Structure 1
Amino acid sequence: MFEIWLVRHGETDWNHAGRLQGWTDIPLNEAGWCQARRLAAALHGVPFCAVYTSDLVRARTTASLLQRELNAPLLVTQQLRERCFGSGEGLTRQEIAERFPNGIPDAEPEAQLSARMADWFRRVLAIHRKGRILAVTHGGFIRQALRMAGVDPPATLANTCVNRFRHTPDGWRALAVNAAEHLAICHPSHAAASHTSRPSAPY
């Protein structure tokens, strides 16, 4: 049996403001650090063969916080990046609709993102075959993975949500979607103490 747990990175100021990030390298904000620490605590004791991460700083920081708790090798890859939104990066959805009514001309095609996602799934399956890995990535990547597993993605994916995929003879099956029980008590005001208690998360 082989499972992939896809985790969305923690919150950034652009997430909070509703701005598309794409490949723009925005760091975690205070809430994002809190979210990552809460998830790290919730995953304590769950064995992982490896922790993979997108090379963008919001994902790498999230992954580093998780890796310290999980004590698994950390591997960085550009394949886990968000979709590139080109000229749309830094804009809100409303601003994009006004400036690019026919779509962002230099954005990464969705089919290209889907192919990148599927190739990464094939690569890690060939490497690991069994066990469990965790990968910190982005909302667009996770949505493509859910569609591959036959699941309609939710309208919103929570920052640091967990999405579990299991490889079966019939392909990939989603066991958990947008799971974020660890965020129930996470708030910027709790960030300083977020690593001191261990929440329960039935992932």
Structure 2
Amino acid sequence: MLRLYLVRHGETKWNVERRMQGWQDSPLTENGIEQAKRIGAFFQQKEKLDRIYVSPSGRTIHTAAEIVAAAFSNIYQDSRLQEINLGIWEGLTSDQVNKQDYVESNRFWEKPEAYQATNGGETFTDLQKRVKSFLADLVTTHTSGTILAVTHAVVIKMILMLVRENQLAHLWEPPFINGGSLTFLECTNKWRIVFAGKTVTESENR
């Protein structure tokens, strides 16, 4: 059986400021670092990882480093795990995006199947293609074992949507994927969701 843990990077400065990040970056907050360390303690006590894949963004690389505490060498960057590209929206607050392009902003959150990415970024269909490719290669490369992928909220939502065999209109269905949360999938003949968007607390690591 192939087991896949998905971790959303820890909380960042732009998360706190409610800014769109996409392919741009901002540093982890102290809370974000603590979130990553708690996930690291979870894996140290409860799971042995065979390989770690990470988005090439700074916030995911920092999160992965805190999780493994420099004690794990099997870390591979994969650009297919990068967050959706948001073009000229990146760095803007949600309110600024709404003022700049309310129609597209509303489509992004309320009608993802109709989102056109007039901001110069990616559509959800673009993201879907690269996420599908990552999952397909994962199953081909690893017939069994436990894999960790440190990635982003929209990527995790897309993976959940694909596993549920839903259409883009259902992308934003619960649960919400908080910073530093865990999502766990298993695959024998097909993927299934064990849990999603779980926040790791200190008490669970005792």
TM-score, shorter chain, exceeding 0.5: yes
In the alignment, the residues of structure 2 paired with residue 108 and residue 133 of structure 1 have an alpha-carbon distance, to the nearest angstrom, of: 27
**1:37 alignment counterpart:** 37
Tell whether the 8 Å contact from 2:55 to 2:80 is kept in structure 1 after alignment: yes
Write out aligned runs for 1:25-104 (5 A).
25-45=25-45, 46-68=47-69, 71=72, 73-103=74-104, 104=117
Q: TM-score, normalised by structure 2?
A: 0.84
Aligned-partner SS, 2:147: strand
Higher helix share: 2
Contact 1:11 1:28 in 2 (8 A): yes
The residue aligned with 2:140 is 126
Structure 1: which 5+ residue stretches go unaligned? Answer: 186-198
* TM-score, normalised via structure 1 length: 0.85
**CA, structure 1 residues 73+159, in 2 after alignment: closer, same or farther (shift >3 Å)?**
same
Opposite residue 156 of structure 1, the aligned amino acid is F
Change (3 A) 1:109 1:178: same
Q: How many residues align?
A: 186
> Counterparts in 2 of 1:148-187, with a 5 A limit?
148-150=162-164, 153-154=173-174, 156-169=176-189, 171-182=190-201
| CA distance, structure 1, for counterparts of residue 70 and residue 177 of structure 2 | 23
Q: Percent identity?
A: 28
Distance across 2 between alignment mates of 1:27 and 1:13: 6
Q: Return the alpha-carbon distance in structure 1 between the equivalents of residues 191 and 23 of structure 2.
A: 27
4+ residue runs of structure 1 moved beyond 6 angstroms? none
Residues 163, 191 of structure 2: 8 Å contact kept: yes
- In the TM superposition, what whole-angstrom CA distance separates every residue of 1:97-155 from its partner, at most 9, and x where no partner exists? 22112324112010110111110011121111101100100001000001012186426
Asked whether the 8 Å contact 1:4–1:134 carries over to 2, the reply is yes
Root-mean-square deviation (CA, aligned residues, Å) is 2.0
